Amino acid sequence: MNRITDTGLQFVKFGIVGVLNTVIGLGIYYIFIYISVTLYIAGNTVGFIAGVLNSYYWNNRYVFNKSDESHFKPLIKTFIAYGVTLLLATILLIIMVQYLHISEWVAPLINLVITVPLNFLLNKFWAFK
C-alpha cells in the first residue's frame, strides 16, 4: 500500500476510534452538566482523561499497530498530544460558552472540527512515530 493510501486508511481508523472516544468523553461531559451546567469544565476534563485512555488503547493496537512496543513513552506522548488539544478545546469552549453564548451542549461538538485533525497529526507523526 502506498504512503498516501496508508495514511488515509489510518485516518479512517482514527476516525472510528474517535467516534468511540467522543461518545465516552461527551457522555461523561453531559453527565456532569446534567448535574449542573457549572461543572462543564470538570466534565470536559474527566471526559478527556477517559477518552485519552480509550484512544491510546485502540490507536496503539488498531490504528498505528504499535502493540509490541513499550507502552510508557507512547502513552505519555498520547496524553501530551491530547493535552495540547484539550487546552485548545477548553479555551475555545470558554470563549464559545461565556463570550459567544453558544450552548454548553453544542460548543464541544464545534470543537471537534479543530481537535480531531490536530489529534490525528500529533498522534501519527509524533506519539506513535
**DSSP assignment of 27-44, as one string?**
HHHHHHHHH-GGGHHHHH
Q: Considering the entire predicted model, what is its pTM? A: 0.67
pLDDT of 103-127, one tens digit each? Answer: 988 998 898 888 888 988 998 888 8
**CA count, 13 A, side-chain hemisphere, 21:** 26
Domains in the chain: how many in total?
1
Task: Calculate the CA 82 to chain-centre distance.
Answer: 6
Q: Which domain holds residue 51?
A: 3-127
What does the alpha-carbon distance between residue 26 and residue 6 come to, in Å, rounded to a whole number? 29
pLDDT of 27-84, one tens digit each? Answer: 999 999 999 999 988 998 899 889 888 988 888 888 887 766 677 788 888 889 988 9
Q: Identify the pLDDT of residue 88.
A: 93
